[in-house]
Amino acid sequence: MRLWAVTALLACGCTRVVVIEANMPPLLLPEHGPLERIAIGRFTVSGKTPPALAQVAADALADAVRKSPAHRLAPSPAQAQMIVSGVVYSGITEGTARRPDGTLKTRTADVSVTLTGTAGRTMRLLTVTEYPAVEDKGRFQEALPDADALQSGLVQACVQAFVRDVSPRRIRVPVPRPVVFGDRHTRRGIDRLATDPAGAVVDLTEALAANPNDAAALNALGLCSELAGNLELAVSGYTYAAAIDPRPEYQQNMRRAHDLLERRNALLNPPATPRRPR
């Protein structure tokens, strides 16, 4: 095989993909460090929502934090990284539904919980329509599920979803590593990603100073930015890497970071008002 063919083979095909197991930052990240200590603030209700649902939401949040492997309840608000307060809105609408067997009564519950923390505000909204149970003979029972239990269950589901969203996530990030012809700073930076992200940034920055079109360095720097919680910069790095070298790994990282950024923005900028019952 001629020398130029060997060179092309090594440059294009023989790269090792390093898969980094990354513990990604929460969607609602404090300015400094991971979110661990959460305190429960004041919960209220709006409109004609039963007042008891405010305490249901506060208790559900405390329970979800206790059960979370990533967070714990702060001993006092002064020791918390995030104090979460909230407003609960709930409404019940009675209605009917036509079935081949006849007309039956329905009950629709709309519940929204708006939670406010250090880094922004997020709203969870759930809507559930309950139908009467069906007997073996095909006749509908008249009794509907208890409205209080239905609303309480939805409030708890909203709060649990919030706690999951502020929890770190472990993901697998593919990072192609040049073997022979890549810049030595790129290779060393990628090798340091898992153990020394700050040192990796120094090496990868030097690699890009020498070659701004180093796709491997751009992709790796995108990961460093994502680990630091800067999703905007991460999307930029992944996007430039995919534009220079449209290999599947770079495109996968670009799409994943873009989706995460959109999701975070949706959490931080919820609708201005809860949806009212139909």
| Same domain flag for 55 and 138 | yes
The percentage of residues in the chain with a pLDDT greater than 70, rounded to a whole number, is: 80
Token readout for 158 is 């909203």
Query: DSSP code of 136?
Result: T
- Looking at the DSSP bridge assignments, the partners of residue 121 are 116
| Same domain flag for 108 and 177 | no
Is residue 244, in this structure, part of any structural domain at all? Answer: yes
| Same domain flag for 216 and 249 | yes
pLDDT at 117: 77
| Same domain flag for 41 and 159 | yes
Question: b/e for 133-153, b at 16 or more Cβ within 10 A?
Answer: eeeeeeebeeebeeeeebbbb
Decide which of 167, 187, 205 is a domain's last residue.
167
Residue 82: pLDDT band by 50, 70, 90 thresholds? confident
> What digits encode the pLDDT tens for the residues 165-202?
888 778 889 999 886 666 889 999 999 998 898 999 99
Residue 16: pLDDT band by 50, 70, 90 thresholds? confident
Is residue 272, in this structure, part of any structural domain at all? Answer: no
Candidates 33, 53, 71; CA nearest to 164 is 71
CATH assignment at residue 123: 3.30.160.180
| Same domain flag for 129 and 239 | no
Lowest model confidence (mean pLDDT) among 70-84, 111-125, 188-202, 227-241: 111-125
Is residue 10, in this structure, part of any structural domain at all? Answer: no
**pLDDT score of 139 more than 50:** no
CA-based torsion, 72, 73, 78, 79: positive or negative: negative
189 touches 158 (CB < 8 A) = no
Is residue 211, in this structure, part of any structural domain at all? Answer: yes
Lowest model confidence (mean pLDDT) among 63-77, 106-120, 208-222: 106-120
pLDDT at 240: 97
Number of domains in the chain: 2
The span from the CA of 68 to the CA of 205, in Å, is 37
pLDDT at 217: 95
| Same domain flag for 140 and 188 | no
> What digits encode the pLDDT tens for the residues 247-275?
999 999 999 999 888 888 777 666 665 55
Is residue 191, in this structure, part of any structural domain at all? Answer: yes
- Looking at the DSSP bridge assignments, the partners of residue 112 are 89, 125
| Same domain flag for 193 and 205 | yes
Residue written as token pair 């404090």? 30
Decide which of 138, 167, 196 is a domain's last residue.
167
pLDDT at 5: 37
Is residue 5, in this structure, part of any structural domain at all? Answer: no
Which DSSP helix (H) or strand (E) runs through 141? none
pLDDT at 215: 94
> Considering the entire predicted model, what is its pTM?
0.68
Query: DSSP code of 31?
Result: S
| Same domain flag for 192 and 145 | no
| Same domain flag for 141 and 205 | no
Is residue 250, in this structure, part of any structural domain at all? Answer: yes
Token readout for 176 is 């192609």
How much is the average pLDDT of 32-59? 89
Neighbours of 127 (CB within 10 A): 15
| Same domain flag for 105 and 176 | no
Domain range holding 179?
16-26+169-266
| Same domain flag for 234 and 191 | yes
| Same domain flag for 115 and 129 | yes
CATH assignment at residue 242: 1.25.40.10
Decide which of 132, 167, 202 is a domain's last residue.
167
Is residue 94, in this structure, part of any structural domain at all? Answer: yes
| Three-class SS state of 174 | strand
Candidates 187, 188, 169, 189; CA nearest to 178 is 187
pLDDT at 135: 47
